[in-house]
Amino acid sequence: MWPILESAMEFSRLRLECFPLEEKTKKLPPLEQLTEEIAELSSRIAKIAPQVLSLDINSRSGLPPDTNREELNGLQAAIRAMRTGLAEGVIRNETKRVLKERAPMVLKHFPCWAVTNLSAGTRIPLVPGLFDMAIVDEASQSDIPSAIPILFRARQAGVVGDPFQLTHCSKLSTSRDTMLRRSVSIKRVEDVRFAYTESSLYDLFASTNYVEPIFLSETYRSATAIAGYSNHTFYSGRLRVATNQEHLSVPSGMKVGIHWTDVRGSIQSGGGSGCYCQEEVETVAKLVRNILVDNDFQGSLGVIAPFRQQANRLQDAIFDNGVPYDRLTQAKVHVDTAHGFQGDERDVIIFSLCAGPDMPRGSRIFIRETGNLFNVAVSRTRAVLHVIGNHDWAKSCGIKHVQNLAAPPQVLQPEPSRGPWHPHESPWEKNMYEALVQVGLDPMPQFPVLSRRLDLALIRRNGKSLKIDIEVDGDCHRNPDGSRKIDDIWRDIQLQGIGWKVMRFWVYQLRENMDDCVKKIVEVYNKNARDK
């Protein structure tokens, strides 16, 4: 009984503390005005941030006037001598002492250091726990031993990576790796997770007890149809595509999304560097010329192939096809395998499939076992992915990541089930839609924007542009205390940040005075037209 009374007393105390805060809240401007101000401030921050960062860097550069520069210069020389292994014991010990004493001062003025795993030894002194935190990016591509120098120099460590993209390359076979572990008596099952051939640094961290990986669910690079392929094929539908497609650069005559050119060429063995398909090479070269020369596309373009042999032939054909070199340079044309595109991106990616029913067995196995390479290739694309290859074979080859690439859009992004008010989600959305149509407006229901769907969208493209998001909210949009849910507030801020005017109406407002609600929308719509 006593714990219940304690909880009740605590609730009462907190409730009393809320009263003065609620009074202050009542004096604040309306929520709609605040979200507009936040959007304006965000825009200002985006404009001045580069200047602020530059000034901040300048303010941190250099050392204080009272710094013993002679000592630091000597310390630098001593560290170099230590790396040779020829420094005397006295010098070595004195160097370590001075280094530990001066490290805090150096780190204060240079708090963030960036190195590769392999260059840590020549860039950062070998001092345990020198940094508060080490963050290893692209950890799914890092083997465990290469990261040890970084981990040794930090008190805490975090990794960022994607296990569905590229992993580290190893020439050590699994059987050889097993024999080496046996030779040093590593026999416990739990120690096998350190296996060089089996585990990346990301795998090691993700499988550690009491470590819970954080999944970053929002993606901002690719158009919805393109990101939908990766989402459906590799991420079990957990991604939210928040790309603003209005800012994507698309060649004239093309639409955003995945396109195919069906080429049924002969897949020839190229030896140890995989296969090649001459018919695909010729088609890709013509397509590149069409995009850059005939259409004068001003965006960026990349060409990816699954095999090195095909990538080499594509490189030669594209650069020998009469396309002016300055156009290739301006478009940042890069031809490579998926490995050469990791961490990169282009507005348009042309993907040469280089696969078919007559391809060598070993190459087919490679295609089947390396779905992560397809994920990398597709996810490098911002606006248009154009696949060149045997479309019929791809649709029925039995390899999931290939078949999904050739699947119709509705397979990767199935339409939601239709309710009784389709295409609306509630009867009051339908009522609002019909009322707006009656006054001559053209609202669009369930309009997609930034991984979300707007209840109703009004868009004016002539004259002064205008985009209005009309939301119809029931009680499910309230918190238990009656306030609006924070997700809706954040959603409004996002939409206003990309130029939308958000107008929200509670169901009871529509029920009690639909005409007044419609009038407010018409006033905003017409005011914008008068102000042009």
The CATH number of whichever domain residue 504 belongs to comes to 3.40.960.10
Checking if the pLDDT of 530 tops 80, the result is no
Same domain, 255 and 228: yes
**Which of 111, 23, 94 lies closest to 59 in space, CA to CA?**
111
Spatial separation of the C-alpha atoms in residues 349 and 302, rounded to whole Å: 5
Spatial separation of the C-alpha atoms in residues 113 and 103, rounded to whole Å: 13
In a domain, 14, yes or no: no
Whether the Cβ atoms of residue 167 and residue 204 lie closer than 8 Å to each other: no
Domain with 99, as residue range(s), is 70-111
Mean pLDDT over all residues of the chain?
A: 87
Q: What is the pLDDT of residues 228-259, one digit of tens each?
A: 999 999 999 899 888 888 889 999 989 999 99
Q: What is the pLDDT of residues 177-212, one digit of tens each?
A: 778 877 877 777 777 778 877 788 999 999 888 889
DSSP secondary structure code for residue 143 in this structure: B
Number of structural domains in the chain: 4
Same domain, 447 and 402: no
In a domain, 5, yes or no: no
Whether the Cβ atoms of residue 222 and residue 241 lie closer than 8 Å to each other: yes
Q: What is the pLDDT of residues 466-483, one digit of tens each?
A: 899 999 998 787 877 777
Same domain, 145 and 197: yes
In a domain, 26, yes or no: no
Checking if the pLDDT of 493 tops 60, the result is yes
Whether the Cβ atoms of residue 145 and residue 121 lie closer than 8 Å to each other: no
Checking if the pLDDT of 18 tops 90, the result is no
In a domain, 33, yes or no: no
Q: What is the pLDDT of residues 384-412, one digit of tens each?
A: 999 999 999 999 999 999 999 998 877 66
pLDDT given for residue 205 in this prediction: 92
- In Å, the largest CA–CA distance within the chain is 91
Q: What percent of the chain has pLDDT over 90?
A: 46
- Three-class SS of residue 376? helix
Q: Mention every residue, 6+ apart, whose C-beta is less than 8 A from residue 40.
A: none
pLDDT given for residue 98 in this prediction: 74
Same domain, 226 and 281: yes
207 phi/psi in degrees, rounded to 5: -95, 5
- Three-class SS of residue 148? helix
At which of 59, 86, 111 does a domain end? Answer: 111
Same domain, 89 and 223: no
Mean pLDDT of 11-38: 84
At which of 214, 241, 274 does a domain end? Answer: 214
| Better-scored residue on pLDDT, 347 or 50 | 347
The pTM score is 0.79
Q: Mention every residue, 6+ apart, whose C-beta is less than 8 A from residue 339.
A: 166, 373, 376
Same domain, 258 and 293: yes
Consecutive H or E run containing 268: strand 268-269
In a domain, 28, yes or no: no
At which of 214, 241, 264 does a domain end? Answer: 214
Residue 415 confidence class, pLDDT cut points 50, 70, 90: low
Same domain, 397 and 336: yes
Q: What is the pLDDT of residues 79-112, one digit of tens each?
A: 777 666 665 677 777 777 777 777 777 787 778 8
Q: What is the pLDDT of residues 284-337, one digit of tens each?
A: 999 999 999 999 999 999 999 999 999 999 999 999 988 999 999 999 999 999
Same domain, 197 and 285: no
Residue 460 confidence class, pLDDT cut points 50, 70, 90: confident
Spatial separation of the C-alpha atoms in residues 213 and 160, rounded to whole Å: 9
